[in-house]
Structure 1
Amino acid sequence: MREEALEILFKYLKTDYMLKHSYAVEAVMKELAKKLEPEKEEEWAVAGLLHDLDSDITGRVPGVVNDAHAFKSVELLKEEKFGDEKLYRAILGHHDNKGVVRESLMEKAIYAVDPITGFITAIAKSYPDKKLTSVKTKSVIKRMKEKRFAANANRDAMRAIELAGIGFDEFAEISLNAMQNIADILEESE
């Protein structure tokens, strides 16, 4: 399933930082699935990998509302005959699209995961060595309270992880660990 998802990802998404973001969301979703729905780990990971599939096409800019974003991703996946309704709903749910109601654990999780990966990356880039491995969970928790730091980060979305039954502190730790586990990919040529 992942190999086919990667083929589709590389077909439509070319921007390096968006590819890295996709890998980060995939890694965090996989770790959250282990805790919340272990039997669906691969589904959650693929949803994370493909959630921003249309970013190059729709001209999506993180933090800016784009009404076509996510809907175009689902359209592309249907054209590729890849995925199912659960995947499509998760992709639609990761973004603040009008009329999309997050119901499943996967939908609720991806909504929180999408912004935390960028938030953690911003924390790492604020350090002298710019390394994910230098970031500590307590820094993520502390920076959440600093409204001026990464001011465009959707803190309400990140805190929405609590709707999936996980406290923010635990979520920060899971997310950071997942990203640190693939730091070699995320920090490549930086």
Structure 2
Amino acid sequence: MAENRLNRDEAYQLLTEYTKSDSLIKHALAVEALMQAYARKFNADENKWGIVGLLHDFDYEKYPTPEDHPLRGAAILEEKGYPEDVIYAIKTHAEYLGLPRNSLMDKTLFAVDELSGLLTAAALVQPEKTIHTVTVKSVKKKMKDKAFARSVNRDDIHKGSEGLGIELGEHIEFCIEALKNVAAELGLDYTTP
């Protein structure tokens, strides 16, 4: 697969071939949207960054252990001819692999992965279950509550923001705004009575 031929439809097909869980698919779509938004901000390849976000956890449902994820997925992507920088970025989102995040794409994936989960959880506890009413202040408050969305790694959110050189509040606000654009797709739009 030539770099300029990265195909979003093929990537989505690969995601849904390996991932059946609605919540994991929505997580992939959320991370895709955040990666695309940051690609626009940084004048980077929006399609490539989006595909990195879409596929970062595609192997997780079948291979959830640190021994397998994301290395099994990386091997599958390699076999399918995905570019090395796409595969490497996906591997770097797993902190336990200890790989340095060298490129802005690597750093951005790490910065948005855990935060997308926290923002989704924050939206789902809103009365209308929407991202449109989530605020930076409420997200920061929820970050301090260890019982809220307990599987979300707060240290990774802080490290990710620092790695991008963006203040945490600004990073959260940017991500909230980006998710508003795909709220309907994520089930986080205003609910209709």
For the aligned pair, the TM-score class normalised by the smaller chain equals 0.7 to 0.9
**Contact residue 92 and residue 98 of structure 2 kept, 8 A:** no
Decide whether the 8 Å contact of 1:21 with 1:118 is kept in 2: yes
Q: For 1:39-188, list aligned pairs within 5 A.
A: 39-58=44-63, 60=64, 66-81=66-81, 83-160=82-159, 161-187=161-187
In the alignment, the residues of structure 2 paired with residue 147 and residue 18 of structure 1 have an alpha-carbon distance, to the nearest angstrom, of: 22
1:10 is aligned, of 13, 16, 21, to: 16
Work out the CA distance in 2 between the residues paired with 1:52 and 1:120. Answer: 18
TM-score normalised to the size of structure 1? 0.87
Check whether the contact 2:111–2:164 (CA below 8 A) recurs between aligned residues. Answer: no
For residue 169 of structure 1, what is the amino acid of its counterpart?
G
**Pairing 1:30–2:36 present:** yes
Size of the alignment, in residue pairs? 183
Matched position secondary structure for 2:132 = helix
Deviates more, 1:7-16 or 1:141-150: 141-150
Supply the RMSD in Å over aligned alpha carbons.
2.0
| Partners of 1:67 and 1:97 within 8 A in 2 | no
**Higher mean Cα deviation, 83-92 or 144-153?**
144-153
Aligned-residue offset at 1:99:
3.2
SS at match of 1:56: coil
The CA distance in 2 between the partners of 1:97 and 1:127, in whole Å, is 33
Helix, strand or coil: the match of 1:25?
helix
- Take 2:163 and 2:154, find their aligned partners in 1: how far apart are those partners? 14
**2:111 and 2:163 in contact (8 A); partners too:** no
TM superposition score normalised by structure 2: 0.86
Identity of matched residues, %:
37
> Partners in 2 of 1:170 and 1:20 — Cα distance?
23
Give 1:78 shift.
1.7
Kindly state the Cα deviation for residue 125 of structure 1 after the two structures are TM-superposed.
1.9
Report the CA distance shift for 1:39/1:106 in structure 2 as closer, same or farther (over 3 A).
Answer: closer
Following TM superposition, where does structure 1 have runs of at least 4 consecutive aligned residues deviating by more than 4 angstroms?
none
Which consecutive residues of structure 1, in runs of 5 or more, have no partner in the other structure?
none
